[in-house]
Amino acid sequence: MIRKLTLCIMLIIAAATAQAQSESPVISIDTTRVNKFVNALSRLSLGGYGEAVMTRNFYSQSFNRYNAPERYKNDGSHGRFDLPHVTISLGFDFGKGWTLGSELEFEHGGTETAVEIEAEEAGEYEAETEKGGEVALEQLWLNKAFLGGKLNIKAGEIIVPVGFANAHHEPLNFFTCYRPEGEATILPNTWHQLGISVWGRVNDWKYEAQFLSGLNSESFTGEKFVHQGATSPYEFKVANCYAGAARVDNYSVPGLRIGLSGYYGYTFRNSIKDPGASYDDVKGALAIVAGDFELKRWNWIVRGSIDYAHLGDADRISEYNKANSTHHKYQDGNPFHNTNIGSSALSYSIEAGYDLFSQVRKLKDKQRFYLFGRYEHYNTMATGTYKSQYRHCAPYRAVVGFNYHPIKQIVVKGEYSYRYFKSPNNNGLNPDSPLYVQPFNNEPSISLSIAYQAWFL
């Protein structure tokens, strides 16, 4: 109503001004067209979010720093500037329960292709193709609502809400400058795939069940588990395998949300290449279960999550991927990876922040300033034949920092992060002994970021 009233007032003022300046004594306004335009505008939604981050890392940036930690422990610091995510969201309400939603995302200011140094692949430079095309169309769906929104059917490119960081990936939903590190490492993030979803909310319960195209095990890696499995280097997503995902959230307690989510599907053979009869028994069944909560009450925000994933046939998939990667002399141009894969991965985290401005009468309910702390651990090779080769993939991380909200839609973040690793059990061995295992160097850093998240229309 405010938008309609504002637009009508502007048109009336413009018409009056034109009439005063024109020699013609009469100006006619087509109210029917004005009403149609105002009605169409009221059905349109336009928004998005964006993040800019500056980081200084006080550890070596060498790709080989985990293979020879003693050699790199005295390396200098290095800095990075980044645009992690910038999105444009566009939606339209067609009426009669039909709505359109879309989200166009630019990751790291680029086009989803990048040159990386692969530590798992002897430090080679690789041009990583994460998805065919130049930009990421993260969402594009049509939704039909029934029973006043208690039941909805959505189809298209949709968000897979497995884990906290996928269901709540916008920058105002977490304290750190980057998305929660553990979940964003072991799972696709933001996880989006083509599929169909049935969802809704009934009283204090919100639910969603999805039927999706499966992940591709050829994109799995030892350092990131199934993180890259939802992407495709082709102009389409292969769907030889299918999967299901589900999520339920409860809001019974004021200020508290508790969520449970899960995923199950086959991942092997979900590519354009036939693996051959010797792999007929390999399925690559992937099962994920995740729980999370968020408490917003008493000027506190407390969040926590735990995720566990298990991949069947991990050793056979590792064998196949290494035999068919770019390192094999007969596989030039293959975009997939030459790495071992774990049979399970896990992640858990807890973070809490208190609004100091809630105790200042002049700032209360106008601005917010949270001091927060976060602790997390994740392991991309929690179990598996090659676990001992991936000790660096099981870090712990402690973070302290602040979130300042000058207005509701904007946040300025600052943090000190300390990533560290469990010390190996050397049982009193002399460091000069060939059996001695070098401990990894710790990885402190500081970051500063600014982000926005808003609906403009």
- Counting as low any pLDDT under 50, the low residues of the chain are 132-133, 328-330
CA gap 33, 40 in Å, rounded: 11
The answer to whether 82 and 93 are in contact (CB under 8 A) is: no
Report helix, strand or coil for 226: coil
Domain with 284 in it? 48-89+144-455
Does residue 370 belong to any structural domain of this protein?
Answer: yes
Q: Total domain count for the chain?
A: 1
CATH assignment at residue 172: 2.40.160.10
CA gap 44, 432 in Å, rounded: 68
Does residue 12 belong to any structural domain of this protein?
Answer: no
**pLDDT at residue 367 in the model:** 96
**pLDDT at residue 329 in the model:** 46
Does residue 32 belong to any structural domain of this protein?
Answer: no
| Cβ neighbours of 3 (radius 10 Å) | 12
**pLDDT at residue 334 in the model:** 62
**pLDDT at residue 128 in the model:** 64
DSSP-assigned states of every residue in 72-112 = HTT---EEEEE--EEEEEEEEEEETTEEEEEEEEEETTS-S
Does residue 448 belong to any structural domain of this protein?
Answer: yes
Q: Which amino acid is at 457?
A: L
Does residue 19 belong to any structural domain of this protein?
Answer: no
**pLDDT at residue 132 in the model:** 45
**pLDDT at residue 447 in the model:** 98
**pLDDT at residue 426 in the model:** 84
Q: Which amino acid is at 96?
A: K
Does residue 215 belong to any structural domain of this protein?
Answer: yes
**pLDDT at residue 24 in the model:** 52
The answer to whether 169 and 190 are in contact (CB under 8 A) is: yes
What is the distance, to the nearest Å, from the Cα of residue 24 to the centroid of all Cα atoms in its chain?
A: 59
**pLDDT at residue 119 in the model:** 63
